[in-house]
Structure 1
Amino acid sequence: MFRTSLRSVLAHKARLMMTVLAVMLGVAFVSGTLVFTNTISGALEKSSAKGFDHVDVALTPGATAAEGDKVSKEVKLTDATLKKAERVPGAASAYGVVSGYAAVADQDGKLVGNGFSTQGGNYWGDDDSRYPFTSGRAPHGANQVALDAETAKRAGYKVGDQVRMSVDGPVLTPTLTGVFTTDDGNVAAGGSLALFDTATAQQLFHKPGAYDEIDVKAAAGTGQDQLKRNLDKALDGAAVHTDTARQLADDQAEAISSSMGSMKNMLLVFAGIALFVGIFIIANTFTMLVAQRTKELALLRAVGASRRQVTRSVLIEAFFVGAAAAVTGLVVGIGIGAGMRSLMGRTGAIIPDGPLVVSVGTVVASLLVGVVITMLAAWLPGRRAAKIPPVAAMSAVHAAPTAKSLVLRNTLGALVSAAGVTAVLAATTMSGDSGQLPMGAGAALLVIGVFILTPLLSRPLIAAAAPVLRVFGISGKLARLNSVRNPRRTAATASALMIGLTLITGLTVIAGSVQSAIDKMAADSLKADYVVSMANGNYLSPDVLKTLRKTDGVTATSGLSNSPSRIDGTTEYLTGVDGRTITRLADLPVDEGRFRVGGTNVVVDDDTAKDHGWKAGSTFSVAYEDGKKQRLTVAGVYEGNQMIRGIMLDAPTLNPHMSDGASDMQVMLKTSGGPSDATKDKLTKALGENPAVKIQDRQDLSNEIAQMFTLMLNMLYGLLAMAVIVAVLGVINTLAMSVFERQQEIGMLRAIGIDRKGIKRMVRLESLVISLFGGVLGIGLGVFFGWAAGQLIGNSMSTYALVLPWGRMGIFLALAAVVGILAALWPARRAARLNMLTAIKSE
Structure 2
Amino acid sequence: MFRTALRNVLAHKARLLMTVLAVMLGVAFVSGTLVFTNTISDAYQRSSAKGFDRVDVAVEPEYQDSKGDKVGRTPELTRALLDKAAHVPGAASATGAVSGFTALAGKDGKLVGGDWQSAGGNYWGTEDPRYPLVSGLAPHGRGEVLIDSATAKRTGYAVGDRVRLSVDGPVLTPVVSGIFTTDDGNVAAGGSLVLFDTPTAQALFGKKGTYDEIDVRAAAGTSQPALKAALDRALPAHLVRTTTGRELADDQARAISASMSGLRQTLLVFAGIALFVGTFIIANTFTMLVAQRTRELALMRAVGASRRQVTRSVLAEAFAVGTVAGVAGLAAGVGIGAGLRALLGSFGASVPDGPLVVSPGTVVAALAVGVLVTMLAAWLPGRRAAKIPPVAAMNSVHAKATTKSLVLRNTLGAVCAGAGVAAVLAATSMDADAAKGPMGVGAVLLILGVFVLTPLLSRPLIAAAAPVLRVFGTAGKLARQNSVRNPRRTAATASALMIGLTLITGMTVMAGSLQTSIDKMAGAAIRADYVVSMANRGPLSPDVARRLAAADGVTASSPLRNGESRIDGDTEFLTGVDGAAIGELTDLKVTDGSFTVGGTKAVVDEDAAEAHGWRAGSRFTAHFEDGKARRLTVAGVYQGNDMLSGIILDDEVLTPHLSDPADMQVMVRTADGASGAAKDRLEKVLGSNPAIKVQDRQDISDEIAKTFTLMLNMVYGLLAMAVIVAVLGVVNTLAMSVFERAQEIGMLRAIGLDRRAVKRMVRLESLVISLFGGVLGIGLGVFFGWAAGELLAAKMPTYELVLPWGRMALFLLLAGAVGVLAALWPARRAARLNMLAAIKAE
Number of the residue aligned with 1:4: 4
Specify the alignment match of 1:402 in structure 2: 402
* 2:706 match: 707
Question: 2:470 maps to which residue?
Answer: 470
Deviation for aligned residue 1:238: 4.0
Counterpart CA distance in 2 for 1:838 and 1:28 is 40
Shift of 1:320: 0.4
SS of equivalent residue, structure 2 residue 171: coil
1:707 offset after TM fit, Å? 1.0
Equivalence for 2:128: 128
Moved over 6 A (4+): none
Match of 1:649, as an amino acid? L
Residue by residue over 1:178-198, the C-alpha shift from the partner in whole angstroms, topping out at 9 and shown as x without a partner, is: 011111111001100000000
Asked if the contact 1:463/1:480 (under 8 Å) is kept, the reply is yes
* Cα offset, 1:819, TM superposition: 0.3
Q: Which residue of 2 aligns with 1:510?
A: 510
User: For residue 253 of structure 1, what is the aligned residue in structure 2?
Assistant: 253
Deviation at 1:237, TM superposition (A): 3.4
Kept in 2, the 8 Å contact 1:431–1:796? The answer is no
Question: Is the contact between residue 130 and residue 182 of structure 1 (CA under 8 Å) also seen in structure 2?
Answer: yes
Shift of 1:114: 2.5
Report the counterpart of residue 777 of structure 2 in structure 1.
778
Equivalent residues in 2 for 1:629-644 (5 A)?
Answer: 629-644=629-644
Tell me the CA shift for residue 115 of structure 1. Answer: 2.4
Kept in 2, the 8 Å contact 1:292–1:397? The answer is: no
Q: Please state whether the residue corresponding to 1:77 is helix, strand or coil.
A: coil
Cα pair 1:134 1:180 within 8 Å, conserved: yes
1:497-554 Cα offsets, whole Å, 9 max, x none, are: 0000000000000011011111100000100000000000110011101111111000
Give the superposition deviation at 1:156: 1.8
Amino acid at match of 2:758: I
* Matched residue, 1:338: 338
Residue 797 of structure 2 corresponds to 798
SS in 1 for 2:68: coil
**Counterpart residue number, 2:582:** 582
Deviation at 1:491, TM superposition (A): 0.2
* 2-structure distance, mates of 1:86, 1:129: 16
Distance, in Å, in 1 between the alignment partners of 2:180 and 2:84 is: 30
**2:341 alignment partner AA:** R
| Post-superposition offset of 1:305 | 1.1
After superposition, give the CA deviation of every residue in 1:391-419 in whole Å (9 maximum; x if it has no partner): 01001286111110000000000000000
Q: Which amino acid aligns with 1:527?
A: R
SS of 1:715 mapped into structure 2: helix
SS of 2:484's equivalent in the other structure is: helix
Task: Give distance in 2, aligned partners of 1:770 and 1:431.
Answer: 39
Q: Please state if 1:767 is matched with 2:766.
A: yes
Q: Provide the residue aligned with 1:347 in structure 2.
A: 347
Alignment correspondent of 1:687: 686
CA distance in 1, matches of 2:64, 2:134: 43
Q: Distance in 1 between matches of 2:106 and 2:783?
A: 49
> 2: distance between equivalents of 1:631 and 1:236?
36
Name the counterpart of 1:425.
425
Give yes or no for contact 1:547–1:687 (8 Å, CA) kept in 2: yes
Q: Mapping of 1:525-540 within 5 angstroms? A: 525-540=525-540
Q: Could you say which residue in structure 2 is the equivalent of 1:221?
A: 221
8 Å CA contact retained: 1:24, 1:326: yes
SS at match of 1:725: helix
Give the aligned partner of residue 152 of structure 1.
152
Give the aligned residue type for 2:321. Answer: V
2:187 is aligned with what amino acid? V
State the distance in 1 between where 2:149 and 2:221 align: 35
Deviations 1:715-740 (A, max 9, x none): 11000000000000000000001100
The residue number in structure 2 matching 1:832 is 831
Which string of whole-angstrom CA distances, capped at 9 and with x for unpartnered residues, describes residues 127-179 of structure 1?
10111111111101111100001111212211111111111111110010001
Paired residue for 2:736? 737
**1:659 CA displacement:** 2.3
Farther off after superposition, 431-440 or 790-799:
431-440
Residue segments in structure 2 that go unaligned for 5+ positions in a row: none
Q: For residue 690 of structure 1, give the secondary structure of its aligned residue in structure 2.
A: coil
- Is 2:841 aligned against 1:842? yes
Where 1:146 maps in the other structure, the secondary structure is strand
Residues 535-583 of structure 1 show CA distances to partners (whole Å, capped at 9, x for unaligned) of 0011001110111111100010000011111111111100111110001
Partner SS for 1:210? coil
Contact 1:294-1:397 at 8 Å conserved across structures: no
**In the aligned structure 2, how far is the partner of 1:817 from the partner of 1:80?**
74
Once residues 245 and 34 of structure 1 are traced to their aligned partners in structure 2, the CA distance between those partners, rounded to angstroms, is 29
CA distance in 2, matches of 1:75, 1:311: 71
- Residues of 1 paired with 2:670 and 2:155: CA distance? 34
Pairwise CA distance, 1:432:
2.4
CA distance in 1, matches of 2:643, 2:727: 43
Contact 1:428/1:788, CA 8 A, preserved across alignment: yes
| SS, match of residue 242 in structure 1 | strand
Q: Report the equivalent of 2:233.
A: 233
Q: Secondary structure at the match of 2:94?
A: strand
Give, as a single letter, the amino acid of the residue that structure 2 aligns with 1:759.
Answer: V
Q: Secondary structure at the match of 1:565?
A: strand
Deviations for 1:228-266, whole angstroms, at most 9, x for unmatched residues? 011011113342110000000000111111111111110
Distance 1:13 1:626 in 2: 79
CA distance in 1, matches of 2:45, 2:447: 41
Separation in 1 of the partners of 2:397 and 2:146? Answer: 81
**Contact 1:308/1:386 (<8 A) preserved:** yes
Amino acid at match of 1:525: A
**Residue 815 (structure 2) aligns with:** 816
The residue number in structure 2 matching 1:568 is 568
Contact 2:392 2:398 in 1 (8 A): no
Q: Are the equivalent residues in 2 in contact too, given 1:533–1:695 (CA < 8 A)?
A: yes
Q: Which residue in 1 is equivalent to 2:755?
A: 756
1:380 has 2:380 as partner: yes
The two structures have a TM-score, normalised by structure 2, of 0.99
Cα deviation 1:205-229 (Å, max 9, x = unaligned):
1111111110000111110000001
Aligned to 2:31: 31
Q: Which residue of 2 aligns with 1:87?
A: 87
Secondary structure class of the residue paired with 2:349: coil
**Alpha-carbon distance in 1 for matches of 2:121, 2:25:** 46
Q: Deviations over 1:76-113 (max 9, x none)?
A: 11101101101111111001000000110011100111
- Which stretch shifts more, 623-632 or 385-394? 623-632
SS at 2:631 equivalent: strand
- Inter-partner Cα distance in structure 2 for 1:659 and 1:229: 34
Give the Cα–Cα distance (whole angstroms) in 1 for the partners of residues 239 and 3 of structure 2: 73
User: 2: distance between equivalents of 1:264 and 1:307?
Assistant: 42
What SS is found at the alignment partner of 1:694?
Answer: strand
SS at the partner of 1:211?
A: coil
2:388 maps to amino acid: I
Deviates more, 1:751-760 or 1:340-349: 340-349
Structure 1 segments unaligned to the other structure (5+ residues): none
Q: Could you say what secondary structure the match of 1:485 adopts? A: coil
Take 1:830 and 1:227, find their aligned partners in 2: how far apart are those partners? 78
SS of 1:15's equivalent in the other structure is helix
Q: Does the CA contact (< 8 Å) of 1:295 and 1:397 recur in 2?
A: no
Equivalent-residue separation in structure 2 for 1:409 and 1:306 (angstroms): 27
What is the root-mean-square deviation of aligned Cα atoms in Å?
Answer: 0.8
Q: Which amino acid aligns with 2:156?
A: G
| 8 Å Cα contact 1:126-1:138 kept in structure 2 | yes
Cα distance in 2 between the residues matched to 1:658 and 1:151: 36
Amino acid at match of 1:683: L
- For 2:769, the aligned partner's letter is I
Partner of 1:675: 674
Whole-Å Cα distance in 2 between the matches of residues 690 and 213 of structure 1?
A: 29
